[in-house]
Amino acid sequence: MIEAIHKTDFHFPHQENFYRGKVRDIYFFKNQLAMVATDRISAFDVVLPRAIPYKGQVLNQMAFNFLKATEDILPNWVITMPDPNVTLGKKCEPFAVEMVIRGYLAGHAWREYQAGKRVLCGETLPEGLKENDKLPHPIITPTTKAKEGHDEDISKADILAQGIVAEKDYLLLEQYTHQLFERGTAMAADQGLILVDTKYEFGRFGDQIVVIDEIHTPDSSRYFYAEGYAERQNNNQTQKQLSKEFVRQWLISEGFQGKEGQSIPIMDDAIVNSISERYIELYEKVTGQTFVKNDYKNALNRIQKNIKTFIA
């Protein structure tokens, strides 16, 4: 097995802070940050014990491509991509919500619906829907951003009532979320895919609202294959999809959903390889580009050197 990048532990000149997220290691400088996409993988808000080869490169390169492709809608945090696993960007003040938008009833939304809920984050869902049905219109189902543990569903009304985001800002976040989802939907359709749901994170850089983090990647989005979608729905068949949902389903089949008292199942080499292959498949299918595997030899030294070059 390739020794994937599980974590970094660099110390740069003029570094002011460091934060290790679920899958990214972030190095903060005066006005900039270097975000390292490691190969860690999380599901149900839990970091799984084994890293997935090439996952970080997939996420970083996809996010960079999609952020560049949506700059005409609103600015983003990116300055440059100095390394296949690194993005250098502007240090922004994040809004304390994630804007999840759903065009279809899948994943978490379906599990809530199946449990009998018909109102999700203040959005009323019609009766009689099946898993993976297209919704009458895309809905925004925000979540709070948890530094640790699970993100929590929250309604627009509660966000405004609690003062988490000012109303004038939140209305702009809604507008940008719909515009980005529309663009992502069109780009997916060009590749024979359906963008099922995704999430966007926003921040403020000076007086400007900008997109931060990643967009339209397998960690933040779910895709179906468009060909055969209607037939599979009509026949009550499972949709052919590209997303991290297959990881969640494997964990569920092994009795793990991130709940208290549950143990993370053992991930053997076969599982790790299959997840890696699925990430690469998604990259190539979503972007229409051939994925070029980066050399893992001295990967940490390479990443450190490339960050130093751009922050000097």
CATH of domain 94-243: 3.30.470.20
* CA 70 – CA 308 distance, rounded (Å): 28
User: In terms of Cα–Cα distance, which of 160, 157, 178 is closest to 169?
Assistant: 160
User: In terms of Cα–Cα distance, which of 130, 131, 107 is closest to 43?
Assistant: 107
pLDDT at 50: 94
What one-letter code names the amino acid at 211?
A: V
pLDDT at 312: 63
pLDDT at 166: 97
The Cβ of residue 10 has, within 10 Å, a number of other Cβ atoms equal to 15
* CA 225 – CA 239 distance, rounded (Å): 8
pLDDT at 51: 95
* CA 169 – CA 272 distance, rounded (Å): 41
User: In terms of Cα–Cα distance, which of 60, 90, 62 is closest to 203?
Assistant: 90
* CA 196 – CA 50 distance, rounded (Å): 27
pLDDT at 146: 63
Reported as a single tens digit per residue, the pLDDT across 42-80 is 988 899 999 999 999 999 999 999 999 999 999 999 999
Q: In terms of pLDDT, which residue wins out, 260 or 156?
A: 156
- Domain-by-domain residue ranges, the chain? 17-93+272-311, 94-243
* CA 55 – CA 190 distance, rounded (Å): 24
The Cβ of residue 206 has, within 10 Å, a number of other Cβ atoms equal to 8
Reported as a single tens digit per residue, the pLDDT across 148-199 is 556 799 999 999 999 999 999 999 999 999 999 999 999 999 999 999 999 9
pLDDT at 133: 98
pLDDT at 244: 80
Mean pLDDT of the chain: 93
Evaluate if residue 3 carries a pLDDT over 70.
yes
Reported as a single tens digit per residue, the pLDDT across 101-112 is 999 999 999 999
Reported as a single tens digit per residue, the pLDDT across 4-29 is 999 999 999 999 999 999 999 999 99
What is the average per-residue pLDDT within 286-299? 93
| Percentage of the chain modeled with pLDDT above 70 | 98
User: In terms of Cα–Cα distance, which of 8, 3, 1 is closest to 302?
Assistant: 8
17-93+272-311 belongs to which CATH class?
A: alpha beta
Evaluate if residue 147 carries a pLDDT over 80.
no
